[in-house]
Amino acid sequence: MFGPPLAPGTKAPEFTAYDQDGHAVRLADLRGKYVVLVFYPADDTPT
């Protein structure tokens, strides 16, 4: 399910995620903009 971490400078693979309102957000739709994506293991953790 999980592969090795991406090396710094590697382009992110295409993906679709869902925002807090359930709307789909595709990485391709954000092309040309700065994007910060944060994954965290659980609520109440510092990010």
- 3-state SS, the chain, equals CCCCCCCCCCCCCCCEEECCCCCEEEHHHHCCCCCCCCCCCCCCCCC
Q: Which two tokens stand for residue 42?
A: 């659980």
Q: Enter the tokens of residue 14.
A: 């295409």
**Does the predicted TM-score (pTM) go above 0.75?**
no
pLDDT of residue 45: 65
Task: Write down the pLDDT at residue 4.
Answer: 83
pLDDT value, residue 29: 93
**Could you report the per-residue pLDDT of 1-47, keeping only the tens digit for each?**
567 888 888 888 898 988 889 999 999 999 899 988 776 666 666 65
User: In terms of C-beta density within 10 A (0-12 exposed, 13-18 middle, 19 or more buried), how is residue 27 classed?
Assistant: middle
